Amino acid sequence: MAMAGGIMTGEIETMTSEIRKRAEEVITRCRKLATFSEDHESTRRTFLSPPMRDCHREIARWMEPLGIPVRADAAGNLRASYAAAQPGAPSLLVGSHLDTVPNAGAYDGVLGVALAVSLLESLRGRRLPFGIEVVGFSEEEGVRFGVPFIGSRALVGRLDEELLNVQDGRGISVRKAIEEFGLNPAEIPQARLNQAGENTEYFGYIEFHIEQGPVLEELGQPLAVVESIAGQSRLEFTFLGRSNHAGTTPMHLRYDALAAAAEWITAVEGLARSKTGLVATVGKIEAKPGATNVIAGETRLTLDVRHGSDEIRIQAVKDLVEQAQEIAGRRGLTARWNTLLEQRAVAMDPFLVAEIERAIGKTGSTPHRMVSGAGHDAMILAEKIPAAMIFLRTPGGISHDPAESLAVEDVKKAIECGLHLLDQLAASFTASSSKLLRP
């Protein structure tokens, strides 16, 4: 007999062939979503671009047999609720982001949404003592506007005027992009979680995500539980020099913005190599006017700095700003910068981490706790509700690239882990309180 409101624990073990089929379907579904792209030859899906609508439609199609209506909130997040056994019970959010980086792989983000749907399908109509809401965030990567987490910030009430006015490369603001998608920015406050008087209360957020690194492959394990997510700083730097003729200007009379940028990029790499756990990346550079026979008068660069300790990260940013100023000054140029994102390191919810660890153990895998170097929506949701993440092994540690891959067996373990986790939460949950029973 099914446990009161739970999944019959013994049953998960007997569902092996069904869960394997669902794992294969998750991979097929992720690869289908990867075809919804702004580019012909590769996957790029940014904030509320037309392919995002195709994504929503496809996921709605998956959910039809479950009788679950799919909607987009005013920040363009896909939202779909699977009702609890009792009306008015609180809900668990499960999901990830639907946007991608340029030339993306097929699993970063969308895997978390596909796995959430697969868990609902695996419940076979069973109702739990809590609802489950699938969420597909509209923008986590920060590609279109340079600022990440636009979708999840709406759920914690931080999609503010300043962010709504940020413009993309074509001068379109976040607000305009929302309107062009057919949504009403005035309704953004309604996307916020756990507002007084709202009929659904959310007690937690779970995100399945590819690890995007080499750790699980080295350990030979399919799954890990994330203990904390490294903080990150994203900045834009400009070196201002003077364009001039490449043939007639002697080397000692140049104010070369590209040469200055090159010296600084080497300094960025040098500093990161000198500090354990620190990573710093210049991912984008633009030189103006950008002609072979013209000395660059201006260069614009992005900087991404991460570390598990906020103190070390913030000090590293300070050092790199000083080095940019020193290099520019010595070369007779000017260095300018502005901060695009200052995101502190975030610990995941200890109770959910322990429950996930237990659930991983039940799949026959050795639970492993780790820090995430990549940023995730879970670090934003954690501002408002208990949040936790489950990583799946990334073969070759390759991500943010079409070579990103995933093993069916690991997806199967993730579904089993998810079902055990739901079973455990159902057992520990009390409808009288919107918080999970804490030991």
Q: Is 375 in the site for ligand HGY (CB under 6 A)?
A: yes
* Cα four-point dihedral sign 226, 236, 97, 86: positive
The entry of Mn ion, ligand HGY, none near residue 95 (CB within 5 to 8 angstroms by kind) is: none
Q: How far apart are CB 308 and ligand HGY at their closest, in Å?
A: 13
Tokens coding 6: 């739970």
The entry of Mn ion, ligand HGY, none near residue 109 (CB within 5 to 8 angstroms by kind) is: Mn ion
Contact positions with ligand HGY (CB under 6 A) in 142-201? 148
CA angle 376, 415, 356 (to 5 degrees): 60
Q: Is 108 in the site for Mn ion (CB under 5 A)?
A: yes
C-alpha to C-alpha distance for 203 and 352, rounded to whole angstroms: 11
Helices 408-428 and 350-362 sit at what angle, rounded to 10 degrees? 120
Which of 374, 385, 390, 422 is in the footprint of ligand HGY by CB under 6 A?
374
**Alpha carbon of 434 to those of 133, 423, 429: distances in Å?**
15, 17, 8
Task: Output 141 or 410, the one with its CB closest to ligand HGY.
Answer: 141
Annotate each residue in 126-145 with x if it binds ligand HGY (CB under 6 A) or - if it does not, as one string: --------------xx----
Q: Is 109 in the site for Mn ion (CB under 5 A)?
A: yes
Annotate each residue in 94-133 with x if it binds ligand HGY (CB under 6 A) or - if it does not, as one string: ----------------------------------------
C-alpha to C-alpha distance for 388 and 270, rounded to whole angstroms: 33
C-alpha to C-alpha distance for 388 and 187, rounded to whole angstroms: 28
The entry of Mn ion, ligand HGY, none near residue 90 (CB within 5 to 8 angstroms by kind) is: none
Task: Output 100 or 434, the one with its CB closest to ligand HGY.
Answer: 100
Q: How many CB atoms lie within 10 A of CB 308?
A: 17
Q: How far apart are CB 16 and ligand HGY at their closest, in Å?
A: 32
Q: Give the closest residue to 101 by CA, choosing from 217, 192, 212.
A: 212
Task: Output 7 or 113, the one with its CB closest to ligand HGY.
Answer: 113
Q: How far apart are CB 263 and ligand HGY at their closest, in Å?
A: 26
Q: CB under 8 Å, gap of 24 or more: what pairs does 181-185 form? A: 181/48, 181/52, 181/53, 181/72, 181/76, 183/48, 183/72, 183/73, 183/74, 183/75, 183/76, 184/74, 185/74
The entry of Mn ion, ligand HGY, none near residue 375 (CB within 5 to 8 angstroms by kind) is: ligand HGY
The footprint of Mn ion (CB under 5 A) covers 108-109
Residues that bind ligand HGY (CB under 6 A): 140-141, 148, 374-375
